Structure 1
Amino acid sequence: MKIHPNCPTPMLILFLFFQLLAITISCQNIASYNSSQLISEGNGEYDFFYLVQQWQVSLCNLRPCQKPAIPTFSINGFRPSSHGISSCKIGTSFDSSKMLDLKNELDREWPSLEVEENEEMWKKEWESHGICSQPLLTQHSFFETALKLKQNFDLFTILANRGIFPFGEVYDLENISNAIRDATGHTPQVECQSYKNIPLLSNIFLCFQYNRNAIHIVDCPLIRRCNFQAILFPYSQFGPS
């Protein structure tokens, strides 16, 4: 068959086809990446927020506390994260005067057990992690959002509804994770820390994305934060670490 000189050759057609395919795939990937981002402005781009809730009793078994531990979950952190990494250095300095209407609730739900002044810990949390969320969240809305999410996702009640209570019992790690997943529709991360070779339930991580001015719970990355199959859910302190 004679090929007309002005017609593209089969090899050229094949080459152009693959070029077009590569461009299409690239555009699809870019669109998918942009739509999945939680924060695309400020100091960096982040996939989600971690809301970290700590079991106070475990914390004070593991290290010295300046205040008595209460058998409850309290906020340990609210952190923009990209694949588990979050660190920002530039942003608005912490201003306690912007928090006056939240202070009572923050004292109750986000206390510092290791230092006397709660504001010292809030300042550190904002300047280490909170500023990463600017300009999406102001300082006030950053702390207010964390408080609302903790209220909406009451871990104590979620676990109690599945018969998991802090009575010093040992529970299967998977059962704890499944109880939270069944209640929220999404997979958490459950962390344990060892006290004299006894693994204690220490922190529970929930993950959230911020889309269209609303924040939604999502599956957390599959990061293992406990290397034990069963962990203790303590009710009270049983001595210094």
Structure 2
Amino acid sequence: MGAMSWSILKLLMLQGLFISPPLPQKENESNEFDFFYLVLQWPGAYCDTKRACCYPTSGKPDADFGIHGLWPNYNDGSWPSNCDPDSEFDKSQISDLVDSLKKKWPTLACPSNDGFKFWEYEWGKHGTCSESVLNQHDYFENSLKLRDRVNLLQVLTNSGIKPDDGFYDLEEITNAIKDAIGFTPGIECNKDPERNNQLHQIYICVDTSGTELIECPILPRRRCPSQLQFAKF
């Protein structure tokens, strides 16, 4: 190799040290997240839409907030999902929780079912991303405990906010929850067939241990208007 060619090669090698391609981003990993969203859903709003709503095979759920899920999230608003396809949902691991899950984490999807499809989906998409801190039993048990601790319906009714098809101020709903639990919730709404904005889901943030409520690093981006209907169920 001539002196000129060797010089050019060395120059290219040197440039490679400074103009290297960026490292690929890591795939979603079960031990890398910043907080959880505990997402609680009002069944009256879920069912009062154009989409179908079916009660579980155990019957109509109580008129109370049910769990939608416990979702690992990142501080930038993104989230991991489906982190471990090999971690299959095993209903035998939650056999002692089934009665509570049917009552407090009910499915409203059609066709009617016993709830296991819903719980399996939530475990696969969200629960597997928290396996470094919560095994399958703990994931569902902690969700139930957090839901009971928050007790949203009692919080709201104590402030005169009732599921009576009435309209309430978004700020009033937010402050009632914040005053009760000490942290600001995220509020998500939907529209009924008459295009009324309804109180649908409430997001409450939980630390990475899945046990303690915290102030949300970031709230859901979806906005609700200043007045929301609290639908009957």
Q: TM-score range by the shorter chain?
A: 0.7 to 0.9
How many corresponding residue pairs? 194
What's the offset of the Cα at 1:219? Answer: 1.5
- Tell me the residue number matched to 1:206: 204
Deviations 1:174-201 (A, max 9, x none): 1101111111110000110112321011
For the aligned residue pairs, the C-alpha RMSD in angstroms reads: 1.8
What's the offset of the Cα at 1:84? Answer: 4.2
1:49–1:208 contact (8 Å) kept in structure 2: yes
- Tell me the residue number matched to 1:46: 33
| TM-score, normalised with respect to structure 1 | 0.76
More deviation, 154-163/80-89: 80-89
Tell me, what secondary structure is at the counterpart of 2:97? helix
Letter in 2 for 1:121: F
Task: Select which of 83, 87, 105 maps to 1:89.
Answer: 83
Distance across 2 between alignment mates of 1:55 and 1:99: 24
Q: Which 4+ runs in 1 deviate beyond 3 A?
A: none
Letter in 1 for 2:199: L
Distance across 2 between alignment mates of 1:223 and 1:148: 23
What's the offset of the Cα at 1:229? Answer: 0.8
1:42–1:135 contact (8 Å) kept in structure 2: no
Residues 1:138 and 1:55: Cα distance change in structure 2 (over 3 Å): same
What's the offset of the Cα at 1:87? Answer: 1.1
| TM-score, normalised with respect to structure 2 | 0.78
Q: Is the helix fraction higher in 1 or 2? A: 1
1:43–1:88 contact (8 Å) kept in structure 2: no
Gaps of 5+ in 1: 1-40, 237-241
- Tell me the residue number matched to 1:112: 107
Task: Select which of 211, 217, 220 maps to 2:213.
Answer: 217
- Tell me the residue number matched to 1:72: 64
Deviations 1:146-194 (A, max 9, x none): 0000011100011111111111110011110111111111000011011
Gaps of 5+ in 2: 1-27
Deviations 1:36-60 (A, max 9, x none): xxxxx95341111111110001101
- Tell me the residue number matched to 2:22: none
- Tell me the residue number matched to 1:193: 190
Distance across 2 between alignment mates of 1:70 and 1:148: 17
Tell me, what secondary structure is at the counterpart of 1:101? coil
What's the offset of the Cα at 1:89? Answer: 3.3
Letter in 2 for 1:133: S
What's the offset of the Cα at 1:69? Answer: 5.6
- Tell me the residue number matched to 1:170: 167
Task: Select which of 112, 124, 128 maps to 2:125.
Answer: 128
Distance across 1 between alignment mates of 2:70 and 2:34: 14
Letter in 1 for 2:83: K
Letter in 2 for 1:75: I
Letter in 2 for 1:126: W
Give aligned-pair identity as a percent. 36
2:106–2:115 contact (8 Å) kept in structure 1: yes
1:232 and 2:229 aligned: yes
2:187–2:203 contact (8 Å) kept in structure 1: yes
What's the offset of the Cα at 1:143? Answer: 0.2
